[in-house]
A = this chain, B = another copy of it.
Amino acid sequence: MDLMNIMLEVTGSWSHFGGAVGAGLAAIGAGIGIGQIGKGATEAIARQPEAANDIRGGMILTAAFVEGVALFAVIAGLLAVLK
């Protein structure tokens, strides 16, 4: 192995670094978002059990919005790691 391959490795290293950190940040985003939604939904069902279907609909819809963006961002991080 010569110097050039080594410099190439250094390169990939930064991609991995950023990819893993970016995926972690995306997981924090999912946590902040879906956490609030889940907390609100469980408390809302407790307060008004007969509205559980409406509440569940809003919960799944907004959680899916957050999930979509977060999974996209994790995939961006995975691509950076696998490159």
List the interface of chain A (C-beta within 8 A of B): 1-52, 54-83
Residues of B within 8 A of A44 (CB): 42-43, 45-46
Main SS of the interface on chain A?
helix
- Distance, CA A72 to CA B60, complexed state (A): 20
Q: A36: which of B24, B35, B48, B78 is its contact (CB, 8 Å)?
A: B35
- Distance, CA A39 to CA B10, complexed state (A): 44
Check if B67 sits within 8 Å of A68, measured CB to CB.
Answer: yes
Q: How far is the CB of A42 from chain B (nearest CB, A)?
A: 4
Besides A14-B16, A31-B66, A49-B54, 16 more A-B contacts (Cβ < 8 Å) are: A1-B5, A14-B17, A16-B18, A16-B79, A23-B24, A29-B31, A30-B65, A31-B69, A31-B70, A34-B62, A36-B38, A38-B62, A43-B47, A44-B45, A45-B46, A78-B79
